[in-house]
Amino acid sequence: MEKENLVVFTGAGVSAESGVDTFRTDNGLWMNHKVEDVATPEGFKKDKDKVNEFYNNLRELESKKKPNGAHMLLSHLEDDYNVTIVTQNVDSLHERGGSSNVIHLHGELNKVRSLSNTNDVIYWGDKPITKEDNLRPHIVWFGEQPLDINKSIKSIKEADIMVIIGTSFNIEYTIELVNRCGLIPIYFIDPNPDTTIFGDKEVTFIREKAVKGMSQLYEILNKEKEINYN
Ligand code: NAD
């Protein structure tokens, strides 16, 4: 039997149990900085050192975090499905959890771009960027276009099952993006999900944190599989 296409759309919530702050964590890293200072092209132009320092810090912190059970279970799903992960996250926890097909809409902390040619993306690991490097973080800032959007739209249109984990949908284009899916089973794992974004489409809400929610979903999908085989 041909494998079904399962698309997973993730946000900061999937990494929260790995100890990575979500955007809106009280007193988290993001709370102590103005978005316009550290996450816009204008902010970078104004003070490159400040912005580099912010991402140097994030890069170092992230490199010490470990994938959690949700990242791991997502990679196990590849045994039974063609899995594509479309993530807003800039951490590498999906890859380090074993997932092989990950689209990073908002860039990746462990990569950098040359300032002389910003299409030149370089793997950088957990090293800091210094003044002399003439580089910028490979991060999509507010006001910039998300990456691989056409590839993401194609995957979502071709999805047979859609799973959403840990996102507030506060970034507006993401609502339109996930709504490109057809009338297919949709599962949304989040302790506090936005229940309005799918309009009339039927959604199964799993109101749990990512790790527990993913293990519940894993059981649901296994049960569905048994029914399909009988
Ligand atoms: P958000 O902070 O706006 O929303 C987080 C969502 O996760 C909320 O809906 C919340 O209810 C949910 N959540 C909190 N704890 C959870 C848990 N343990 N399990 C499951 N869900 C949980 O994040 P967003 O929607 O991803 O948008 C914020 C933007 O900030 C994105 O563009 C992202 O690139 C960026 N960001 C990325 C990271 C990362 O790479 N890990 C971290 C912070 C922010």
pLDDT tens digits for 109-119? 999 999 998 88
Q: Is the pLDDT of residue 188 over 90?
A: yes
Look at ligand 1, atom 13, and give the residue with the nearest C-alpha: 13
Look at ligand 1, atom 25, and give the residue with the nearest C-alpha: 167
Q: Is the pLDDT of residue 149 over 90?
A: yes
From CA 166, how far away is CA 22, in angstroms rounded? 9
Instruction: Report the separation in Å between the CA atom of 13 and the middle of ligand 1, taken as the mean of its atom positions.
Output: 4
Confidence label for 29 from pLDDT (cuts 50, 70 and 90): low
Instruction: Report the separation in Å between the CA atom of 22 and the middle of ligand 1, taken as the mean of its atom positions.
Output: 4
- CB-CB contact of 111 with 123 (8 Å): yes
From CA 91, how far away is CA 87, in angstroms rounded? 10
Task: Please state, in angstroms and as integers, the Cα–Cα distance from residue 11 to each residue in 50, 170, 182, 202, following that order.
Answer: 25, 11, 21, 21
Cβ of 61 closer than 6 Å to ligand 1, yes or no, is no
Q: Is the pLDDT of residue 209 over 90?
A: yes
Q: How many CB atoms lie within 10 A of CB 27?
A: 8
Cβ of 211 closer than 6 Å to ligand 1, yes or no, is no
Look at ligand 1, atom 44, and give the residue with the nearest C-alpha: 23
The pLDDT of residue 27 is: 57
Instruction: Report the separation in Å between the CA atom of 161 and the middle of ligand 1, taken as the mean of its atom positions.
Output: 22
Give the number of the atom of ligand 1 that is nearest the alpha carbon of residue 169. Answer: 25
Q: Is the pLDDT of residue 28 over 90?
A: no
The pLDDT of residue 35 is: 86
The answer for 192, left when phi > 0, alpha when psi is -120 to 50, beta otherwise, is beta
Cβ of 23 closer than 6 Å to ligand 1, yes or no, is yes
Pairing of strands 81-87, 102-104: parallel
pLDDT, tens digit, 9 for 90 and up, residues 56-65: 999 999 999 9
Confidence label for 174 from pLDDT (cuts 50, 70 and 90): very high
End-to-end CA distance of the chain: 14
Q: Which residue has the higher pLDDT, 217 or 25?
A: 217
From CA 174, how far away is CA 188, in angstroms rounded? 14
Cβ of 10 closer than 6 Å to ligand 1, yes or no, is no
pTM of the model as a whole: 0.94
Q: What percent of the chain has pLDDT over 70?
A: 95
Helix axes 210-229, 69-76, angle to 10 degrees: 20
The pLDDT of residue 26 is: 58
Cβ of 167 closer than 6 Å to ligand 1, yes or no, is yes
The pLDDT of residue 189 is: 98
DSSP conformation class of 43 = H
Q: How many CB atoms lie within 10 A of CB 88?
A: 22
Instruction: Report the separation in Å between the CA atom of 131 and the middle of ligand 1, taken as the mean of its atom positions.
Output: 30
DSSP conformation class of 192 = S
Confidence label for 227 from pLDDT (cuts 50, 70 and 90): confident
